[in-house]
Amino acid sequence: MHEQPQDKNAKPISEGDMVTVKSRNGDVEGEVQKIVLTVAEADREGVKNPPKIILKDQQGRLVQHNPETLEHADRQQEYQSSNEVGA
């Protein structure tokens, strides 16, 4: 059995999680759609070098990343920041 992949802060990643990844164009946020752990899964999904995390980004595109490049999105912090702006 394969271990559950972890983000760069050693938090386990599951399908449905909101994660962010840094890119050349800034932070990209997306929802984890699929976790590819084996070569057989990678072949079916058209992915190379598992493990990979497939996520849907803000534009609705499916993108793949290595688990250790991701961080869980901190929704609570975003909510607090937006409330502070309106205060």
Q: What pLDDT, in 10s, does the model give residues 3-51?
A: 899 999 999 999 999 999 998 988 999 999 999 999 999 999 999 999 9
> Where exactly are the structural domains of the chain?
18-86
Distance CA 22, CA 63 (A): 13
pLDDT band at 86 (very low <50, low <70, confident <90, very high): low
According to CATH, the topology of domain 18-86 is SH3 type barrels. (2.30.30)
Sequence-ordered alpha helix ranges (H) in 1-87: 39-45, 75-86
Q: What pLDDT, in 10s, does the model give residues 33-45?
A: 999 999 999 999 9
Facing residues of 22 across strands? 27
Residue 82: per-residue pLDDT: 46
